């Protein structure tokens, strides 16, 4: 990553994916470095899955087994049984796996492989990692027949239809005990473009990005610059001058055909600009991928909040017709959602947590390129609606 940022180009392709830190038997010279999960026949196990990959969304499957999804991003969902699931960078998924009764001493691959667009970025790792689900049954110790390790079929790396069908199949539990508290009325609507782009190459430097420039990324054409002073501290002490500007654009300043032929100009602006929300504002945010530099699926993560994914689609978002298709009954609740390649996603949340909260792409390279912004949620009127002061023993920078 540091080398990529230094030369303004893409990062290197990774050597391997790993499961619990081990690359598994499908890479050269790594058979001994394989994670094995020992299970008993006829039992149900809870697997907690986390995508900790830096720059990749992943397909995951266990050979000859189904996975019943019961929770995503620490929120219960209606049980959804699948052969293969999709998990974006930074997302978590809890699944139930029931082992079979009639497979004594058998082994099954648990495999993951990357998902990307038809023309993946240069750093996309199109390999497969596997761990082993290993059946152990002491009563079958006399069963010495050698069994093959069963492998799961995985979708093609660019199977966007599969990803769409999977993500739209997730639903909140929405029971009296676990209601889906999606905001029905909206105080503020925002439209953000999620774009790659370029910035000028620094003087006396050769850059490896698009058109000899350095790669960058932005929200609403603003590539975020990290300040030298903490944003939360600056807000709390009312000393924002020279640290940030409270004027992040609510929509693109220069609209264009976001998913059509990309404009010749890939230039991005830069800045440390925050979007200010009064306490308890109900927010609807549409995030739109663009064709500038190329389509990608961007996993966007919001700090400090969960949100409801009320809609998604391909092409340009239509504010006249698309809201009629929003799910306001049982939309999935998460903290990280992928903006579809060449498409859009709509979320809603209630801004009831005062402070400064980052929202950023969970691909490390895109965040480093500036694909991030921050919301400043103001204090409410009641004591329990106000930002707490820093601890008295907090070290000073």
User: What are the residues facing 93 on neighbouring strands?
Assistant: 49, 72
Three-state DSSP class for 132?
Answer: strand
Q: 3-state DSSP call for residue 267?
A: strand
The helix/strand/coil state of 169 is coil
Question: How confident is the model over 144-168, as a mean pLDDT?
Answer: 88
Of residues 216 and 137, which shows the higher confidence score? 216
The domain segmentation of the chain, as residue ranges, is: 12-168, 188-385
Mean pLDDT, rounded, for 98-116: 92
Q: Please indicate whether residue 35 or residue 203 has the higher confidence score (pLDDT).
A: 35
Residue 83 tokens, joined = 């052969």
Place of tokens 């996993």: 299
Q: What is the CATH number of domain 12-168?
A: 2.60.40.420
Contacts of 67 by beta carbon, 8 Å cutoff, 6+ apart: 47, 60, 61, 81, 82, 83, 85, 95, 96, 97
Rounded Cα distance between 64 and 76, Å, is 25
Cβ density class 201-232: b for 16+ within 10 Å, e for less: beeeeebbbbeebbbbbbbbbbbbeeeeeebe
Task: Report the pLDDT value the prediction gives residue 397, as an integer from 0 to 100.
Answer: 65
For the chain, percent of residues with pLDDT exceeding 70: 97
Distances (CA, A) of 305 to 2, 244, 295, 309, 347: 30, 22, 27, 13, 12
Q: What is the CATH number of domain 188-385?
A: 2.60.40.420
* Most distant pair of Cα atoms in the chain: their distance: 76
Instruction: Say what the pLDDT of residue 363 is.
Output: 96
pLDDT digits (tens, 9 = 90+) for 344-383: 999 999 999 999 999 999 999 999 999 999 999 999 999 9
Closest CA to 72 of 386, 336, 360, 388: 336
Residue 29 is predicted with a pLDDT of 85
Strand order in the sheet with 281-289: 269-271, 222-224, 214-219, 188-199, 281-289, 343-351, 307-314, 333-334
Q: Return d(Cα 217, Cα 369) in angstroms, integer.
A: 5
Q: How far apart are CA 341 and CA 147, in angstroms?
A: 41
Other C-beta atoms closer than 10 Å to the C-beta of 47 total 15
Q: What is the rounded average pLDDT of the residues 247-258?
A: 96
**Structure token pair of residue 231:** 């944003």
When the pLDDT of each residue in the chain is averaged and rounded to a whole number, the result is 94
**The domains spanning 12-168 and 188-385 adopt the same CATH topology:** yes
> Is the pLDDT assigned to residue 318 strictly greater than 70?
yes
């Amino acid at each position: 990553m540091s080398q990529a940022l230094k030369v303004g180009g893409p990062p290197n392709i990774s050597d391997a994916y790993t499961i619990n830190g081990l690359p598994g038997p499908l890479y050269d010279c790594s058979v001994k470095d394989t994670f094995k999960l020992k299970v008993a026949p006829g039992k149900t196990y809870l697997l907690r899955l986390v995508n900790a990959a830096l720059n990749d969304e992943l397909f995951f499957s266990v050979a000859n087994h189904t996975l019943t999804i019961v929770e995503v991003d620490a929120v219960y969902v209606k049980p959804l049984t699948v052969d293969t699931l999709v998990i974006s960078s930074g997302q978590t998924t809890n699944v139930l796996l029931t082992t079979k009764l009639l497979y004594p001493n058998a082994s099954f691959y648990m495999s993951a492989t990357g998902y990307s667009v038809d023309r993946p970025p240069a750093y996309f790792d199109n390999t497969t990692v596997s761990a082993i689900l290993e059946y152990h049954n002491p009563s079958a110790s006399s069963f010495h027949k050698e069994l093959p390790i069963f492998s799961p079929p995985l979708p093609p790396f660019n199977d966007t239809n599969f990803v769409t069908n999977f993500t739209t199949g997730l639903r909140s539990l929405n029971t009296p005990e676990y209601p889906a508290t999606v905001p029905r009325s909206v105080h503020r609507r925002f439209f953000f473009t999620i774009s790659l782009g370029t910035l000028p190459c620094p003087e006396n430097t050769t850059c490896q990005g698009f058109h000899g420039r350095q790669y960058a990324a932005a929200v609403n054409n603003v590539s975020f610059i990290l300040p030298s002073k903490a944003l939360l501290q600056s807000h709390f002490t009312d000393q924002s001058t020279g640290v940030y500007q409270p004027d992040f654009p609510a929509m693109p300043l220069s609209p264009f055909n976001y998913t059509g032929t990309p404009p010749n100009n890939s230039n991005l602006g830069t800045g440390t600009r925050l979007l200010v929300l009064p306490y308890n504002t109900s927010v609807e945010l549409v995030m739109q991928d663009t064709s500038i530099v190329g389509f990608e699926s961007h996993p966007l993560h919001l700090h400090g909040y969960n949100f409801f994914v009320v809609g998604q689609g391909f092409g340009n978002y239509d504010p006249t017709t698309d809201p009629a298709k929003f799910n306001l009954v049982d939309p999935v609740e998460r903290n990280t959602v992928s903006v579809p390649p060449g498409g859009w996603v709509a979320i809603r949340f209630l801004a009831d947590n005062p402070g400064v909260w980052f929202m950023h792409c969970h691909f490390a390279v895109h965040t480093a390129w500036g694909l991030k912004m921050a919301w400043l949620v103001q204090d409410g009127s009641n004591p329990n609606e106000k930002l707490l002061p820093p601890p008295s023993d907090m070290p000073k920078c």
